[in-house]
Amino acid sequence: MCVLTCALLPGRARAFVIPLSRANCDKHVLQERRPALFDINSVVLLTLDSLASFAVLLTLDGLASFAVLLTLDGLALFVVLLTLDGLASFVVLLTLDGLASFVVLLTLDGLASFVVLLTLDGLASFVVLLTLDGLASFVVLLTLDGLASFVVLLTLDGLASFVVLLTLDGLASFVVL
């Protein structure tokens, strides 16, 4: 895949399209395009300061298969994987060290089906499963070893119907109704 490079004309952004089919490329194969003329099967690099503001991988039908928003230091701020109907199937927010701080899996109606908050070591600190009305149906807080320390099942009014505290061996130490 080609290295994304670009030059900046004063006072306006440059958009370059780099065909993915080229095994080797240099600055001479970069094709400048207006934003409305993005090619299929390509990576689009938009910039105001010669750093990528976002990159979009386009599929054969012209729909984006994923979009990456890059920060000024070139690290991804978040990644969105798009389905064929243009709705996001999941969103990943990345920290400055490249590790995901949370992942949201979205349903076809745009509502989150679950949210995972990840710690710096890549282990989930908690998982929230959301119902169709956007209310949490349960919350799982995970320990560093990946075992659940407690599980909370929430009712439709947001009140807990029960809480289970789990021990390290995965057995419940107590249940509160």
Query: What mean pLDDT, rounded, does the chain reach?
Result: 46
Cβ pair 107, 91 in contact under 8 A: no
pLDDT in tens, 129-140: 444 454 545 555
pLDDT in tens, 11-41: 333 444 444 333 333 333 334 433 333 333 4
pLDDT in tens, 46-93: 444 444 444 555 444 545 455 555 544 545 454 555 544 545 454 554
Q: For 39-43, which contacts have Cβ atoms below 8 Å and span 24 or more sequence positions? A: 42/17, 42/18, 43/1, 43/2, 43/4, 43/17, 43/18
Cβ pair 39, 58 in contact under 8 A: yes
Alpha-carbon gap, residue 144 to 125, rounded angstroms: 8
pTM: 0.26
Q: So what's the pLDDT on residue 39?
A: 39
Domains and CATH numbers, the chain: 1-86 (no CATH), 103-177 (3.90.930.1)
Neighbours of 86 (CB within 10 A): 8
